[in-house]
Amino acid sequence: MKYRRVLPWAIPTILLLIGSYYFYFTHQESRTISRTWYDNNNHNKDIPPIWPDILNISTPSPSLWKGKNATRTLVVAKLQQDDTSWVDELIQNDPHLTGAVYTVDKHNATLTVPANKGHEVMVYLTYIIDHYDRLDDVTMFMHAHQITWHNNDFLDSDSAQMVRRLKNTHVLRNGYMNLRCHQRPGCPAHIHLTGGQTDDEVHFPETAVIGDSWRQIFPNDPVPEALSQACCAQFAVSSERIRRLPRRRYVEYREWLLRTELDDGLSGRVWEYLWQWLFTGRGELCPVETTCYCEGYGICMDPDEYDRYYKNREEARKLETQLEELEGSDETAAELRKKIDDLHGKMEEFKTKAVAE
């Protein structure tokens, strides 16, 4: 009899609990999907952190490890005045390479961006958003200049050589690769996000704003002690790594870029040291330079000989400075020129051997 008296009350209670549970979670889901950074109602709680997604990464299939059949796209950010004919030449000679050159200061260009802001960042994010479901196996993000100081010394500072020699296998296995092997500028411990900021702010103006920017862009991610990777925002990423994050996240990052009060240069500098976090979940990514060259480009060098190369270069540059300042003795000048030529000869011999192997 007790069982029959309780049952009429139990059934409505259970139904009420089920209804409440359903309403709560469907409401939460709709709130999460509709939120962006610019909603005003405690929005940060609904943006999941980056790093759990990135650290839980599956491995590409063995067929792609071989890299032979990997498809590649080269994404380039340019101004109207920039010459990107080197990109066209690369594409003509590589059937597995596609180009996507964005002209940021021409609104009616075939490929352009919503606003010319954030330097290359706007181009990179726009490409990912527009091609998210049809990415090639490897996407390289680069600047427009073919020859520039921030490219790799052992590839003649040449962007075209970097593209040609890049090892697809390395990118596919690791998911992300900074295309610059030389650590400085950018490594190690380039920007400190905790503790005193005085020295950093003098040398790196983005340090003064990157803390607030981090909290807006990655509100629920732990703040790393430091951010570092080799400059200057040129990298390669696998399609699998890009798609570890949903497309809407990239849309939100671009919204931040469009709406931030930071100017074009500063907003771009902020992102220069966020890409490694976005694609690897690591604040600092500073591989050994010879390892980067060997695994990333197939240029393998003895670390001691590599160090000797740069010591020779430093000595040659000092002698060249002395030669420029020299007044008087032709004999002294001739002696300096001979030393400089000898150093350059040793450097060229080592470089030729390294690239040829």
Mind listing the pLDDT tens digit for each residue in 244-277?
999 999 999 999 999 999 999 999 999 999 999 9
Examine residue 230 and state whether it is found in any structural domain, yes or no.
Answer: yes
Domain end call among 260, 286, 312 = 286
Are 157 and 278 found together in one domain? Answer: yes
- Short-list 277, 256, 261, 213, CA closest to 125: 256
Average model confidence (pLDDT) across the chain = 83
Amino acid (one-letter) located at 275? W
- Angle of CA points 259, 140, 129, to nearest 5°: 40
Residue 48, pLDDT > 50, answer: yes
Contact assessment for residue 122 and residue 257, using Cβ atoms and an 8 Å cutoff: yes
Buried b (16+ CB within 10 A) or exposed e, 203-237: ebebbebbeebbeebbeebeebebbbbbbbbbbbb
Q: Whole-angstrom Cα distance, residue 192 to residue 138? A: 31
Examine residue 27 and state whether it is found in any structural domain, yes or no.
Answer: no
Examine residue 226 and state whether it is found in any structural domain, yes or no.
Answer: yes
Are 200 and 235 found together in one domain? Answer: yes
Look-up: residue for tokens 């181009």? 123
Are 216 and 321 found together in one domain? Answer: no
Examine residue 164 and state whether it is found in any structural domain, yes or no.
Answer: yes
pTM: 0.80
Residue 317, pLDDT > 70, answer: yes
Are 282 and 313 found together in one domain? Answer: no
Overall number of domains in the chain: 2
Q: Whole-angstrom Cα distance, residue 137 to residue 357? A: 27
Q: Whole-angstrom Cα distance, residue 42 to residue 351? A: 56
Q: Give me the domain span that covers residue 79.
A: 72-286
Domain end call among 254, 286, 318 = 286
Q: Whole-angstrom Cα distance, residue 33 to residue 248? A: 9
